[in-house]
Amino acid sequence: MANTANQSELGKTSAYCSQYAPELLFPIPRQEKRDELNITADTLPFQGLDIWTAYELSWLNAKGKPVVRIAEFAFSADSEFLIESKSFKLYLNSFNGTRFDTEQDVVKTLEQDLTQACGEAVAVDIRTVMHDETLLGKLPGSNIDELDIAVDSYKVDISLLNSDQSSVVSETLNSHLLKSNCLVTSQPDWGSIVIRYEGPQINHEGLLKYIVSFREHDEFHEQCVERVFTDIMKNCRPEKLTVYARYVRRGGLDINPYRSNFEDEFDISRTSRQ
């Protein structure tokens, strides 16, 4: 659990710490926001992961030489806690002036600290910067951003979602117009979202308006994706549904939540915004 000192630092200017400090991690209970969506921990309507990518991971080897890597972290949606992003950045920065004998020691340390903080095993994959020089991917499905819609509200509105119960389809849709605000700092979080489903055809214009309605909404990335998932299930009643988002990085970290009631793998290719 987080301590009072940690909590007092959220949303405030924080001193840069370059020596290993796992106490900087600030866990936040997932259930607090799930209560708003009538989601209980023992009957989650989805499975999924929160994939974090860290582009600024560095430490010192045994001889004091800096090592730079890109890291990917996979947090289970079943975990009791999520990690507040600023605290995660500060924690990773604390590796910058810390010596480790091997890269495996770094991975082991990250896995142990993050698992303890969130309450569920966290998978850590570290790769070299050269290895990451790959072609950018693109979101699957049809993009709906060019639909000519009129928008007069930027507060989340579930009533914008509707479907044609007489027309059953299987389709994948995406949009780059997702934007919400950090629950702690109120800073903008920009993202792209993918919605894959089977069931009554969702009204595309209404869906796009709904996505845009998050524009002034204050909520963490993971919570936004779970809200989209539960709202679509409630108003459109698809048999199968996957919702995932690729958020633009801030402070060297991007967060990519994935929720589904029928599949457990998705394309994690970087997009042009990342």
**Domain containing 19: what range?**
4-127
Task: Tell me: do 182 and 83 sit in the same domain.
Answer: no
Domains: count for the chain? 2
Task: Tell me: do 178 and 229 sit in the same domain.
Answer: yes
Express each pLDDT in 144-188 by its tens digit. Answer: 999 999 999 899 999 999 999 899 999 999 999 999 999 888 889
Q: Residues for the chain: how many in total?
A: 274
Asked whether residue 24 is domain-assigned, the answer is yes
**C-alpha to C-alpha distance for 109 and 114, rounded to whole angstroms:** 8
Express each pLDDT in 65-122 by its tens digit. Answer: 999 999 999 999 999 999 999 999 999 999 999 999 999 999 999 999 999 999 999 9
Asked whether residue 187 is domain-assigned, the answer is yes
Asked whether residue 134 is domain-assigned, the answer is no
Residue that finishes a domain, picked among 65, 94, 127:
127
Listed in sequence order, the residues at least 6 apart from 76 whose beta carbon sits closer than 8 Å to its beta carbon are 48, 49, 120, 121, 122
Beta bridge partners of 75: 50
Give 139 or 267, the one with higher predicted confidence: 139
Predicted confidence (pLDDT) at residue 3 exceeds the cutoff of 60: no
Q: What share of the chain has pLDDT > 90, as a percent?
A: 80
The residue written with tokens 């994690």 in the block is: 268
Task: Tell me: do 111 and 161 sit in the same domain.
Answer: no
Express each pLDDT in 181-237 by its tens digit. Answer: 998 888 899 999 999 999 999 999 999 999 999 999 999 999 999 999 999 999 999
Asked whether residue 136 is domain-assigned, the answer is no
Asked if 193 contacts 244 with a C-beta cutoff of 8 angstroms, the reply is yes
pLDDT value at residue 13 = 58
Asked whether residue 137 is domain-assigned, the answer is no
Catalytic machinery residues: 182, 189
Task: Tell me: do 63 and 158 sit in the same domain.
Answer: no
Task: Tell me: do 8 and 119 sit in the same domain.
Answer: yes
pLDDT value at residue 28 = 96
CA dihedral sign of residues 101, 104, 108, 114 = positive
Task: Tell me: do 88 and 116 sit in the same domain.
Answer: yes
CATH of the domain at 252: 3.30.1130.10
Asked whether residue 261 is domain-assigned, the answer is no
